[in-house]
Structure 1
Amino acid sequence: MALFKRGDVWWVRFIAPNGRRIRRSTGTSDEEQAREYHDRLKVEQWRVHWLGEKPRRTWQEAVVRWLNERDDKADHQKDVGKLRWLDQYLGRLYLDQVSRDVIDEIAGVKKATASASTANRYLALIRAILRAARDEWEWIERAPRVRLFREPKKRVRWLTEQEAAILLRELPEHLADMAAFTLATGLRQRNVSYLRWDQLSLERRIAWIYADQSKSRKAFAVPLNGDAVTILRRRLGQHDTFVFTYKDAPVDRTSTKAWQNALRRAGIQDFRWHDLRHTWASWHVQKGTSLQELLELGGWSSYDMVLRYAHLAGEHLHSAAGNVQGTILAQSKNEKGLRLAAGL
């Protein structure tokens, strides 16, 4: 038996019956538990080779394959962060040991420290990996049902033009420029943070977001209005590559202490950086931009994504509302006239 330690954790190492070298962490610092893991793993490898049984796959194996096959996802790094947190609960398990009870325990722990929507992002990731293991890789015969929490529908959070002006005055210059540019273009935070000068044409007043930079994985053009052009001209010469920088580097994080302090001084509560995009979209529909135009301007992948702003636009229905204008009043006047004529 080959057991060895890396740090405080025991690892196993042996040659499987098919000649394959097996080297794997036991996930424990207890030597007795590590020895049991080693013996069980050797038996499984023997049964796979000599009896033709399907090998038991671990959660960690599934995670590695998932990350390799989904490395083009826009939120790939967010998946990595979630999986690191999940490893404390699932890292030592085989896929067929990830039961409904285990998942419910994880759901309860996460819900106790985060919102329902945040907990659901973790649960949805577990569900996606288990479904891939069942349907794509054929590693397991069945996957447990993952129940998501009910998420309350929240209203779209946006600022009035006056509130936005106050916030911009309270922000430090580098964040103020980024926030103002977001309010002018509706771009997502990461697209603004890593916007490059070679993605812009000030002469044509247009910017380009490439497919690998877009959440929808579709390239789209961004028309630059006068406010956006003014901000860009102010940034000229500050950095050779990136438009928005602080201390000669792109501003990767915007929800900083400076952002929170500016919100407090401006008297604005319950407002995130991404709500600047909601504000931009809300202003657009209130000023007559159609939902189809908004869809293209914002680079959304589906019409459903812009329907959240539909309630803010009612001007296009004024003509239809006029179709029944005066009918109630006209009927009321006719009835009054008839009563007078009848001497009632």
Structure 2
Amino acid sequence: MGIRKRKGSDVWYVDVRTPGGERIRHSTGTTNRKEAQEYHDKLKHDQWRVAKLGERAARTFDEAALRFLRESEDKADYVHRELHIAHFCERFAGRNLDTLTRDEIFDALPQVSRKSKKVTALTNGTRNLYLGTLRAMLNKAAHEWGWIATAPKLPNLAVANKRVRWITRDEARKLLKTIRTDWMRDVAVFGFATGLRQANILGLEWSQVDLVKRRAWIHPDQAKARKPIGVPLNTEAVEVIRRNLGRHSTFVFSRRGKPIVKWDLAQWNRAVAAAGIDHFRFHDVRHTWASWHVQGGTPLNRLMELGGWSKYEMVLRYAHLAPDHLAHHAEAVTIWAQSPPGVPEGNAKSLVA
């Protein structure tokens, strides 16, 4: 055992046993024998210190990235996690995990996006997604795997609070009238009626619908939070489903008898413009549905269930739309608990008004 080359490869591989008997075999990452031998000797030395002195074994960023991605394979956002980790690997590959500093991590955050040959500056919101992925990996390394003593503190970058984008029922009716394609109109109506995400609507199968009991369901592997969602169907949602009976054997919504693989964004944007509505994405249909619910008196905890949100904070952004539940608390700060001086009993309310 020691260092050796594998058949057909110029790279040296290390093959050693730890003091505890564990066998370690992997690439040294170099074709230089001297460098490979130095790597081997350091590895043996480190393993001895771990076994005899109780020191923590040094782990690399690459090792952590590989394990984190393996443990994330069942996550709904796996594709994004993979993208984020790949970005940081370009900067931290080969580095010992416990040497990463807070400042280095923030310096390594991406500044621009280069999609479709177009370079655009990334918002802090998007950069926070990268930060969140790395934070999750380092926290696992510290608290679950025991690879590092502590994880760097990585607070999110400041993000400007934006208003929740929603439209009124009158605006929604105008929008639906401007959509010329039947399948797109049906999808939009179903979105306003159920609040489901676009992917869940387009992928909805007949096996997920019970028209008799007026309900549908989203399976855990289809939900963003990886939890099942029960969907009560109101009258408009039921009517939409009935209109689509017999059009496709598997999917509720179809286009010319075939599954819908892609949303027609160009036609959607034309319809939005024709209805005189500014900057309204299809995802804003979900925001609109939630806003209507809150304005109609649906409690936030029930809305959380209906929308399949995993965090209560996600529904709190709609709370301001219906502050009625706070109205009685407003009386706690009235100036005149009784009639103010010089004002006859019963006239205090007119004074305040």
Quickly name the TM-score band, shorter chain normalised: 0.7 to 0.9
Aligned amino acid, residue 127 of structure 2: A
Q: Distance between the aligned counterparts of 1:315 and 1:261, measured in 2? A: 37
Q: Would you say the 8 A contact 1:157–1:278 is kept in 2? A: yes
Q: Distance between the aligned counterparts of 1:84 and 1:255, measured in 2? A: 31
> How far does residue 255 in structure 1 lie from its aligned partner after superposition?
7.9
Q: Distance between the aligned counterparts of 1:217 and 1:285, measured in 2? A: 24
Q: Distance between the aligned counterparts of 1:337 and 1:62, measured in 2? A: 72
**Which of 143, 146, 153 is the equivalent residue of 1:138?**
146
> How far does residue 208 in structure 1 lie from its aligned partner after superposition?
1.4
Aligned amino acid, residue 73 of structure 1: K
Aligned amino acid, residue 160 of structure 1: T
* Aligned equivalent of 1:176: 185
Q: Distance between the aligned counterparts of 1:193 and 1:181, measured in 2? A: 10
SS of the equivalent of 2:111 reads helix
Q: Would you say the 8 A contact 1:120–1:148 is kept in 2? A: yes
Render the CA deviation track for 1:183-214: whole Å, top value 9, x for unaligned.
10011233223222111101111011233333
- In the TM superposition, what are the counterparts of 1:90-101 in structure 2 within 5 Å? 90-101=92-103
> How far does residue 37 in structure 1 lie from its aligned partner after superposition?
6.5
Change (3 A) 1:302 1:131: closer
Q: Would you say the 8 A contact 1:2–1:13 is kept in 2? A: yes
SS of the equivalent of 1:240 reads coil
Change (3 A) 1:25 1:3: same
Q: Would you say the 8 A contact 1:3–1:35 is kept in 2? A: no
* Aligned equivalent of 1:159: 167
* Aligned equivalent of 1:213: 222
Q: Would you say the 8 A contact 1:255–1:272 is kept in 2? A: no
Matched, 1:46 2:28: no
> How far does residue 284 in structure 1 lie from its aligned partner after superposition?
1.6
* Aligned equivalent of 2:305: 296
**Which of 59, 70, 73 is the equivalent residue of 1:68?**
70
Change (3 A) 1:166 1:86: farther
> How far does residue 74 in structure 1 lie from its aligned partner after superposition?
2.7
Residue range with higher mean Cα deviation, 254-263 or 265-274: 254-263
Matched, 1:58 2:64: no
Render the CA deviation track for 1:108-155: whole Å, top value 9, x for unaligned.
635982111111111111111112112211222333332321122222
* Aligned equivalent of 1:78: 80
Q: Would you say the 8 A contact 1:239–1:245 is kept in 2? A: yes
Unpaired runs of 5+ residues, structure 2, are: 18-22, 114-119, 348-353
Q: Distance between the aligned counterparts of 2:225 and 2:86, measured in 1? A: 25
- When the two structures are superposed, what TM-score results if normalisation uses the length of structure 1? 0.78
Change (3 A) 1:109 1:44: farther
Change (3 A) 1:286 1:39: same
Change (3 A) 1:23 1:55: same
Render the CA deviation track for 1:28-49: whole Å, top value 9, x for unaligned.
xxx7xx7786455333333244
- When the two structures are superposed, what TM-score results if normalisation uses the length of structure 2? 0.76
**Which of 81, 84, 91 is the equivalent residue of 1:89?**
91
Q: Distance between the aligned counterparts of 1:337 and 1:143, measured in 2? A: 63
Q: Distance between the aligned counterparts of 1:267 and 1:121, measured in 2? A: 33
Change (3 A) 1:324 1:61: closer
Q: Would you say the 8 A contact 1:117–1:149 is kept in 2? A: yes
Change (3 A) 1:240 1:84: farther
> How far does residue 161 in structure 1 lie from its aligned partner after superposition?
1.7
Q: Would you say the 8 A contact 1:12–1:22 is kept in 2? A: no
Aligned amino acid, residue 154 of structure 1: K
Render the CA deviation track for 1:278-309: whole Å, top value 9, x for unaligned.
10011122233333432332233444432322
When the two chains are superposed, the root-mean-square deviation of aligned CA atoms in Å is: 3.8
Render the CA deviation track for 1:60-114: whole Å, top value 9, x for unaligned.
2212211222333232222123223333223343323433232121236359821
Matched, 1:21 2:30: no
SS of the equivalent of 1:176 reads helix
**Which of 221, 236, 252 is the equivalent residue of 1:243?**
252
**How many residue pairs end up in the alignment?**
326
Unpaired runs of 5+ residues, structure 1, are: 339-344
Q: Would you say the 8 A contact 1:44–1:55 is kept in 2? A: no
Q: Would you say the 8 A contact 2:200–2:222 is kept in 1? A: yes
Q: Distance between the aligned counterparts of 2:171 and 2:255, measured in 1? A: 25
